[in-house]
Structure 1
Amino acid sequence: MTEHPNADLAPYVRILGRGPGRSRNLTREEAGEAMRLMLAGRVAPESVGALLMLMRFRGENPEEIAGFCDGARDSLPEWRALAPSIDWPSYAAGRSRGLPYFLLAARLCAMAGQTVMLHGWNSAAHMRAAADLRGMLAPIGIPVVETPEAAGAALVSDGICYAPLEAMSPDLYRLLRLRDLFGLRSAVNTTLRVMCPSGAATSVQGVFHPPYRPLQASASMLLGQPRQVALKGGGGEFERNPAKSVTLEGVTGGARYETEAAPLIDETRRLAEAEPDPAHLPALWEGTRTDPFAEAIVTGTAAAALFAAGLFPDLGAAEAEAGRLWATRPRSQAA
């Protein structure tokens, strides 16, 4: 008798879906094995959907996310060996996001001597055209890489690069795109933010819903991530609103921390402009456009990342350095 392809995943679906009083969350080990099976393509899409939606219904917990990250990391040994200074995920749908000013913040971090690997995928079905992150990479001088070798070379030559998820891991990309069938996010979205595929010592993560801040910090603790920070950012990206007090929640040296980033500018404005012009992003870097609010987004976000990386004793010192970097930036496209 031929074994049904769902048989390997069935025990984990049963654990989650037995019913009131009998079901439970997966352990870290169970979640890790489930992720390995899903990435290997050994299970049918129906069983993957059942597992992910049951996890969503119950509410994913830190152990499950850590386990999913374990399984995902096991499939990316060459990427994990890169070990840049900062891992910067970008997986927000972009429905409520304006121009990706955080890309300029990442360039400031590279100017500070921190190698930065951005990675991600953003759903075109939910994104305003002006919020297209990938369309902004070339105009502001961030190279796109599709192999670990190319990433390593770009980190040496430019100090920064962007890896598309579908190049980095076609199998994780396949799991993420199941959202198009479910109409709902899943624990895969959280995993991609937390897993730090580059092996960086510092991981900076954005969330759209504040409850994910402690979830991602706790999962990072379980994973032994040396330094990590999460904030509720523009459209769910790691992008600080300079007009509001923003909570930074994360991990450093094996301990959890939480700090409030005070407003940087006395101006009330949405991060997502009504009709953003993509040309404004490179123009801001080159100095042909002046916008104090946008500049505060950039320097405030860079300061949060530099603080998370442990380069400064407090956020104020990081903000001062980010301001200095902005004032002395090379006003050209080349990174």
Structure 2
Amino acid sequence: MHPFAPFIQILGKGRHGSRSLTQEEARAAFGMILDGQASPEQVGAFLMLIRVREESPEEAAGFVAAVRERIAVPEGIPVPAIDWGSYAGKRRHLPWFLLAARLLAQNGLPVFMHGTEGESGERIYTHAALAALGLSASASLAEAGERLAASGFAFLPLESFAPGLKRLMQLRELLGLRSPVHSVARMLNPLGAPLSVHGIFHRGYERIHQQAAILLREPGVVVFKGEGGEAEINPEMGAEVLVSRGAVAGGFDLPPLLERRQLKPERLDPAHLRAVWEGEVGDVYGEAAVIATVGCVLQARGMAAGRDEALALARAWWAAR
């Protein structure tokens, strides 16, 4: 029997014979996949068997551990205050979370952002939107560390530090479905930031992220259903925010910041982000999204006693930018 086959057997023995993988089994299985020790057929079967019933927190934690073991972080890289995954892209609104990250960095909370571009031509991905803000992606972890030290913000494409995971992510176009790798990428926190910010699209995955973080003893994770699947609070909807600190789970609710819905833009022009940042134009929705997102992060970090105090601080930072 092929060494990888037992993992497929565990997952695929049918309604009464199958079970989820333990955290250690998941770590071992995903490690074999990343090391090229499973055939393409086995990889496809494995990912889709997981997809049918969704990954468990133990499986997600094991997958994350396997990827982290294969990331070579150079010595001397500064530890950012915030880790921020960006993998969904935006379709209905601009990526206002970029301004939120910039505002946090400007106020002494360095942000390490990582992500990748998808195949959809209808979405704006972070890598492309950075240019409108006069920023560019780093080419390596070492370069990202230099930019964190110099400016407090760095964006690094997934393929620059976890190419095996990027290749697995690209299977979505072949298989037609998302797989656990899209959650794993958001959870990586490769530089060990004390707070990792996760935005998810499918409701219910918040608890998988939270419980996986507890299993991994992450110092701090905040996760919520974000606009378009990115880590951005929708100010028209609010959010249920889950938080974990080590082995402790918590959370808080964010009611809508805007009382009425705003008209969605007819087209998304990333240059508008810079114009709003520089105060050349206003944007009711965009500014509210930035303030709500920054307030959420501040509350999760314990830098404010509650929502009102967090929003007040976020508004003050925005006014002084």
Q: Which amino acid aligns with 1:105?
A: A
For 1:97 and 1:146, the matched residues in 2 are separated by 29
**Among candidates 229, 233, 237, match of residue 240 of structure 1:** 233
In structure 2, the CA distance between the partners of 1:117 and 1:109, relative to structure 1 (3 Å rule), is same
- 158, 181, 202: which one pairs with 1:188? 181
Q: 1:50 to 1:148 in 2, by over 3 A?
A: same
Superposition deviation, residue 310 in structure 1 = 2.6
Q: Match of 1:323, as an amino acid? A: R
2:308 is aligned, of 316, 324, 327, to 316
Matched, 1:23 2:15: no
8 Å Cα contact 1:79/1:198 also seen in 2:
no
Q: Is 1:88 matched up with 2:92?
A: no
Partner of 1:49: 44
Greater shift, 210-219 or 191-200, is seen at 191-200
1:201 maps to what in 2? 194
2:206 alignment counterpart:
213
Maintained 8 Å contact 1:83/1:198: yes
Q: Which amino acid aligns with 1:126?
A: S
1:286 aligns with 2:287: no
Partner of 2:122: 128
Given residue 229 of structure 1, which amino acid in structure 2 is its aligned partner?
V
Deviation at residue 106 of structure 1 after TM alignment? 0.3
Contact 1:25–1:58 at 8 Å: present in 2 too?
Answer: no
Q: 1:78 aligns to what SS in structure 2? A: coil
1:194-238 deviations in whole A, cap 9, x for unaligned? 222221110110011120111111111111111111111111001
Greater shift in the superposed pair: 155-164 or 298-307:
298-307
> Equivalent of 2:63, from 68, 84, 93?
68
- Using the TM superposition, give the Cα deviation of residue 280 of structure 1 relative to its aligned residue in structure 2, in angstroms: 0.9
Question: Unpaired segments of 5 or more residues in structure 2?
Answer: none
Match of 1:332 in 2: none
Contact 2:133 2:271 (8 Å CA) reproduced: no
Deviation at 1:82, TM superposition (A): 4.6
- TM-score, with length taken from structure 2: 0.95
Q: TM-score, normalized by length of structure 1? A: 0.91
Amino acid of the residue matched to residue 300 of structure 1? A
Extract structure 1 runs of 4+ deviating beyond 4 A.
79-82
Q: Offset at 1:253?
A: 4.8
Q: Which runs of 5+ in 1 are unaligned?
A: 330-335
The answer to whether the aligner puts 1:302 opposite 2:298 as a matched pair is: no
For 1:203 and 1:97, the matched residues in 2 are separated by 25
